Amino acid sequence: MPDRVRYAVNVCVLLRRADRWLLDLRQHDADYGPDLIGLIGGHVEPADGPDDVLETAARRELAEETGIDLAGTALHYVASELYDGPDRRPVVTVTYAAELPSDQDPRLGGATEPGRPSWWTLAEVEQDPRCAAWVPRLMRLADAVLG
């Protein structure tokens, strides 16, 4: 019997407030996409299951990276992708979108994980050479999903 391929699973969240999106400028020493503007998210962990594992992981990652608690806020599926990670291991990434509740504000620079979350418009990321190629496409999809 051939060896089965094992996949890492990531989740990301695009948060919108008015016409701006909360994105992350990745650290220069990041394993994947260093110094690029990317999405907020990370790996699914065993403690995220067993029920609603992707949504739970998305909420946890967002809280770790921005201090935002999305309990009670609907997450809307945007897209899923498959790519080779930095170690050539296949990675599945699922992206969600949500409107940031008016009573929540991110702790910019004060979260428990490294990164530099900040607010961007679609036009700003399209013009910034640090923007990862997939980000504008996902922002457009998320905008359509959220209406």
Pair 62, 10: CB distance under 8 Å: no
Alpha-helix residue ranges (DSSP H) falling in the chain = 53-66, 122-127, 135-146
Q: Which tens digits make up the pLDDT trace of 18-48?
A: 999 999 987 777 666 778 899 999 999 999 9
User: In the prediction, which pLDDT does 85 show?
Assistant: 83
Report whether pLDDT(136) > 70.
yes
User: In the prediction, which pLDDT does 109 show?
Assistant: 54
Q: Which tens digits make up the pLDDT trace of 65-112?
A: 898 999 989 999 999 999 988 788 899 999 999 999 888 888 765 555
Identify the three-state secondary structure at position 97: strand
User: In the prediction, which pLDDT does 17 show?
Assistant: 95
User: Which domains occur in the chain, in start order?
Assistant: 8-146 (3.90.79.10)
